[in-house]
């Protein structure tokens, strides 16, 4: 069990971690946020800080074509989050909600997901706006908002 204190009404379980598969990180995320309290509750794609997705060298060729997209989904591993709460009190106001009904980083598999604005590709890094994670967070995956091989809805922003 994690060492963080429980808020009134929260419930933790004995969450022994079992390994079924391996996850491969593709890089790391650089943000200005060094503590969880500094992270915004949801990223701001218009006014949030510019962040960098630093891609490991052997995965950098996979960035080809990404610069054409204005938005992408970033999946990341919330490596400092506790993993044992089933009931949480997110606002510390006594209301308790199930973990799967929240976007809290505290979950059995602490996978974060943010829709970000893609500002550009800079060598082996992607400049984005709209993240809400700690500096140094491991990067799991990066996917454009829409695949170029699917039918896009009309007025979908794709750069020429």
Is the model's pLDDT at 58 over the cut of 80? yes
**What pLDDT was estimated at residue 3?**
54
Over range 21-39, report the average pLDDT: 92
For residue 41, what pLDDT is reported?
Answer: 80
Q: Summarize pLDDT for 140-156 with one digit per residue, the tens.
A: 999 998 766 666 555 66
DSSP state of 61: G
| Banded pLDDT at 76 (limits 50, 70, 90) | very high
Taking the C-alpha atoms of residue 134 and residue 52, their distance in angstroms, rounded to an integer, is 12
Judge contact between 141 and 59, C-beta under 8 A.
no
Helices (H), 9-157: none
Confidence of residue 14 (pLDDT cuts 50, 70, 90): confident
Best CA proximity match to 139, nearest among 68, 71, 60, 86? 60
pTM, two decimal places? 0.81
Residue 151: predicted pLDDT: 61
């Amino acid at each position: 069990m994690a060492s963080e204190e429980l808020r009134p009404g929260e419930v933790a379980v004995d969450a022994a971690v079992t390994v079924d598969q391996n996850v491969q990180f593709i890089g790391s995320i650089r943000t200005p946020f060094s503590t969880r309290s500094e992270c915004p509750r949801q990223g701001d794609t218009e006014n949030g800080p510019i962040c960098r997705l630093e891609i490991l060298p052997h995965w950098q060729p996979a960035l080809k074509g990404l610069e054409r997209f204005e938005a992408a989904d970033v999946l990341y591993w919330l490596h400092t989050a506790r993993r044992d709460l089933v009931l949480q009190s997110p606002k510390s106001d006594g209301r308790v909600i199930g973990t799967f009904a929240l976007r809290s980083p505290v979950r059995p598999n602490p996978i974060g997901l943010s829709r970000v604005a893609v500002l550009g590709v800079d060598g082996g890094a992607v400049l984005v706006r709209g993240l809400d994670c700690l500096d140094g967070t491991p990067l799991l995956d990066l996917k454009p908002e829409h695949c170029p091989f699917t039918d896009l809805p009309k007025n979908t922003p794709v750069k020429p």
